């Protein structure tokens, strides 16, 4: 099997699993207890919190554990809306956010908030001028993702943070895709809230965090016990949190090597596909993109068919985000970048890890070439296209 869907989820690293195991068996104590078994859990909880805070240049008490990235996004948006509704009812976000942000915004619109969805350029980068123009006197929050999960583009986070700071507006970033992949310092980037998730960085599923700058008066997410400074009640998921801490420690340690390796493989894969497969388009910015992200559209092809045929060859990819594959809607991200429905439907996302090899990339390019050729040979659209192209008909074999 060749796994190229690391933006959807990653394999939990063996050292992460190993770090978690004792917290299922020997160290099962409740972190709120007084006896030493509970203290061991409390210690592990604080250790993980410190590791995450250090990576962000934040303080320990600014990290709140959640059950993942979606929960952190929901919390940031809903709690800001509720806490600041007297100040204003306007939120600015972008058209290319993850559904955890977009669908939360739709929910808030039903509650009487107004949301402006700022567009992106043809490479999927947020238009700063449009963002600035969208700000109103009653804007309470700007939420822009750090890196896009489909096309991997990196957004001008520092500039957006500065814009928000200058106007006294809160800035939230969904950093799930960038967390542990790039250095992130919340103070330098003027970030007030940041969402992250463990399973995208070789940690376990079902655990994430929200960074909340101290002093923000956000309401509690879950009411109950005093866990997470009374803002998110419920007995802590100690094994998950320990795994998250280990995963970020490992990601920071491996970052230079991993970035270099993935960037090389990414650029090799992009170059071969562009050279060998006609009528394709690289989606996303060529340089301002995540090290492991490759996203192409192939004309005259259904992304779904391509994925199924790749799967039969043991290759795991995606047609966009894991949440939209299965649905027949084309990617909202690609449409926002100005792609036609046809090109958006013909997209393939391959996201790498440091475990991938050049040989795997060779296998993948050959497989894509073969499948694209087969699918096009069956496509009436492609047949029409060849006829109209006349004698210049391309060689697709």
Q: Which C-beta is closer to ligand PLP: that of 145 or that of 247?
A: 145
Q: What is the DSSP letter of 63?
A: E
Comparing CA positions, the residue from 300, 276, 301 lying closest to residue 385 is: 300
- Cβ distance 8 to 322 under 8 Å? yes
Residue of this chain nearest to ligand PLP (CB atom): 69
Concatenate the DSSP letters of all residues of 256-273 into one string.
HHHHHHHHHHHHHHHHHH
Of all helices (H) and strands (E), which one includes residue 117? Answer: strand 114-118
Piece in contact with ligand PLP (CB under 6 A), picked from 127-135, 192-200, 274-282, 302-310: 192-200
Chain residues 96-125 in contact with ligand PLP, contact rule CB under 6 A: 98, 100
Angle (nearest 5°) at CA 236 between 221 and 79: 10
Concatenate the DSSP letters of all residues of 362-387 into one string.
HHHHHHHHHHHHHHHHT-HHHHHHHH
Of all helices (H) and strands (E), which one includes residue 140? Answer: strand 139-143
Piece in contact with ligand PLP (CB under 6 A), picked from 172-180, 214-222, 241-249, 269-277: 172-180
CA 346 remoteness from chain centre: 21
Euclidean distance between CA atoms 121 and 127, whole angstroms: 7
Residue from 176, 210, 315, 361 touching ligand PLP (CB under 6 A): that is: 176
Residue from 6, 93, 116, 149 touching ligand PLP (CB under 6 A): that is: 149
Instruction: HSE, CB side, 13 Å, CA atoms: give it for residue 344.
Output: 19
Chain residues 62-101 in contact with ligand PLP, contact rule CB under 6 A: 68-70, 73, 98, 100
Q: Which C-beta is closer to ligand PLP: that of 140 or that of 176?
A: 176
Reply yes or no on whether 323 is catalytic: yes
Chain residues 324-343 in contact with ligand PLP, contact rule CB under 6 A: none
The reply on whether position 197 binds ligand PLP by CB under 6 A is: yes
Residue from 29, 204, 208, 240 touching ligand PLP (CB under 6 A): that is: 208
Q: Please give the residue ranges that form the binding site for ligand PLP (CB under 6 A).
A: 68-70, 73, 98, 100, 145, 149, 174, 176-177, 197, 199-200, 208
Residues annotated as catalytic are 323
């Amino acid at each position: 099997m060749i796994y190229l869907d690391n933006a959807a989820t990653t394999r939990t690293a063996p050292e992460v699993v190993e770090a978690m195991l004792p917290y299922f068996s020997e160290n099962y104590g409740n972190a709120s207890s007084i006896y030493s078994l509970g203290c061991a859990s409390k210690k592990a909880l604080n250790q993980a919190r410190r590791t995450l805070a250090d990576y962000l240049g934040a303080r320990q008490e600014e990290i709140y554990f959640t059950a993942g990235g979606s929960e952190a996004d929901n919390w940031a948006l809903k709690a800001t809306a509720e806490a600041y509704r007297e100040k204003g009812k306007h939120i600015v976000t972008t058209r290319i956010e993850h559904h955890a942000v977009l669908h939360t915004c739709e929910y808030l619109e039903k509650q009487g908030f107004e949301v402006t969805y700022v567009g992106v350029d043809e490479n999927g980068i947020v238009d700063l001028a449009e963002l600035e123009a969208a700000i109103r006197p009653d804007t309470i929050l700007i939420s822009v993702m750090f890196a896009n999960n489909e096309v991997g583009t990196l957004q001008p986070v520092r500039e957006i943070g500065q814009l928000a700071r200058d106007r006294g507006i809160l800035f939230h970033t969904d950093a799930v895709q960038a967390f542990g992949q790039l250095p992130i310092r919340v103070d330098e980037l003027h970030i007030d809230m940041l969402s992250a998730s463990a399973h995208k960085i070789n940690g376990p599923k079902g655990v994430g965090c929200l960074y909340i700058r101290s002093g923000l008066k956000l309401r509690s997410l879950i009411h109950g016990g005093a866990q997470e400074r009374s803002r998110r009640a419920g007995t802590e998921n100690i094994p998950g949190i320990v795994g998250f801490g280990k995963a970020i420690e490992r990601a920071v340690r491996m970052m230079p090597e991993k970035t270099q390796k993935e960037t090389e493989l990414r650029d090799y894969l992009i170059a071969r596909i562009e050279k060998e497969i006609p009528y394709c388009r690289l989606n996303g910015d060529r340089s301002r993109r995540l090290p492991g992200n490759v996203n192409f559209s192939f004309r005259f092809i259904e992304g779904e068919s391509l994925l199924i045929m790749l799967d039969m060859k043991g290759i795991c990819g995606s047609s966009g985000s894991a949440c939209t594959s299965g649905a027949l809607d084309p990617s909202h991200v690609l449409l926002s970048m100005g792609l036609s429905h046809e090109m958006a439907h013909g997209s393939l996302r391959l996201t790498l890890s440091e475990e991938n090899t050049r040989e795997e990339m060779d296998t993948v390019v050959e497989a894509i070439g073969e499948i694209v050729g087969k699918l096009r040979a069956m496509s009436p659209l492609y047949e029409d296209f060849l006829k109209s192209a006349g004698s210049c008909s391309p060689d697709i074999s």
